[in-house]
Every structure is written in structure tokens, then in C-alpha cells.
Amino acid sequence: MELVADMAETGAIATRPLDLVIFDFDGTLSDSGDWFVSVANDLAERFRFRKIAPDEVEMLRRKSSREVIEFLGIARWKMPWIARYVRKLVSREAHRIELFPGTPNLLERLVESGVKLALVTSNSEENARKILGPRHAAKIHYYACGSSLFGKAPKFRRVLRKMGVEPDAALAIGDETRDVDAAREVGMRAGSVLWGYAAEDLLTGMSPDALFRTPEDILSYVREHRG
């Protein structure tokens, strides 16, 4: 196993034993990237933004979420409408979206370790539960789902408040730059998976507290920081 989880840790936040892991969903637990690419140009036609050429996909993986939106020329006021429509599409086509290999075992072993789990995603709770399946969905202690004009940081704060966990005892894990930014805004540790949407060099440049190449790396990091 190649463990890269500690390569970026700064020590500035990681002072309290971990009690909570907050996961992003799409691109982190669910392998929805290919599905999103397959519907992107239909969305572009419906909501009148720039279509993506096949040779531009890899380039876009090296841009932040904000840069992608600007590149595609998506007006901010359209974002809630697009998100709502995408959630409906996912609901209809959830059978086409699978969990990343190792996700079920990861959730089970994290729960066995005693850490609490939460899910923060712009997707709907119904879609997340459908893709996870009842058995795996039951491993998540708290769901904060649906798009927000204010981003993920307020959702992170709500999860911490509801679960009674201090920010420095929580780790947020996602696959995009905005996940790192939101975790830092709240004062949590930020972990980035290297199997999702954003390219490895882009995430490495964000200097998250932890980089995870495999689900086993997440388990190792949590074990080492449970106290």
C-alpha cells in the first residue's frame, strides 16, 4: 500500500483526536464522473452554456470549480436551476452510477473504529441513499444534502453543531478544490482523494492536510489520528 496521507499535514489544525469524518459524495464515494461527462453537453444545450469538447475534459480537471464555471460561461444565477435538474437526472439514472471500489468496506471499517460519519453534498439525500443502498446508507450518521448558494462551509458548521463535534476533531474528505477551501474556512482538517474529479497536481497544489490515493489510506489516517 502506498500511503500518502501524512505528506501534506501541517500540524496547524491536527491537534485533537478525530471524532468525525465528513464525506463529499460525487467523485469521492460514488463514481459519477463518467456519467456527468456523458450528460454535460445536454445540460449545456438546455441551460445555454459552453459545450465541452472531448479533448477539454482533462484540461478542466486541472481547474478549480470556480474556473470551470467561468470557462463554461455559466451564469451564477443559473446554478440552482442546473443543480435541481441534475438531481432529477441522477434520480432517474441512479442505476448507472456505482460506488467506487472499496467504498462499502471503508464505511464499515470507519464505523467499527468508533468515528462518526456525515455526508455533505449538493446531491439530494434521496439520490445518495439510492446509490449507497440501504445497508451502506445506514452507516452515515448525518446527511446535509442539496445545493446551497453559500457553498459547503455552512453545511459543515451545521453538521458539527448537530453532532456536537469541535472543528479540529473533524476531517472533511472530498475530490475538489472547493472541498479544501470550505474545510479550511470552518477550521477542520481537509483531506483530498486522488481518484475523483480534480487532477492530482491541482489537489497537491492546494496543500490539504491529507492526500488519499486509496480508501485504505483513509483508514490508516483515521487510525493514526483517533488518539
Please give the Cα distance from 17 to 186 (Å, whole number).
17
- pTM, rounded to two decimals: 0.89
Please give the Cα distance from 41 to 151 (Å, whole number).
24
Over the stretch 172-216, which tens digit does the pLDDT of each residue have? 999 999 999 999 999 999 999 999 989 999 999 999 999 999 999
Strand 170-174 relative to strand 142-145, pairing: unpaired
The CA-atom distances, in angstroms, between 58 and each of 98, 120, 128, 194, 198 are 22, 26, 26, 14, 9
pLDDT score, position 150: 61
Q: Would you call 199 exposed, middle or buried from its count of C-beta atoms within 10 A (0-12, 13-18, 19+)?
A: middle
Would you say 199 and 61 are in contact if contact means Cβ atoms under 8 Å apart? Answer: yes
Mean pLDDT of the chain: 90
Please give the Cα distance from 43 to 41 (Å, whole number).
5
Q: Quick one: CA torsion of 135, 86, 68, 46, rounded to 10 degrees? A: 160
Q: Quick one: which of 159, 156, 210, 216 has its CA closest to 187?
A: 156
pLDDT score, position 127: 96
Q: According to DSSP H, which parts of 122-212 are helical? A: 125-132, 134-137, 153-163, 177-186, 200-205
Over the stretch 69-121, which tens digit does the pLDDT of each residue have? 999 999 989 988 998 899 999 999 999 999 999 999 999 999 999 999 999 99
Instruction: Name residue 85's beta-bridge partners.
Output: none
Would you say 86 and 18 are in contact if contact means Cβ atoms under 8 Å apart? Answer: no
Q: What are phi and psi of 153, to 5 degrees?
A: -55, -45
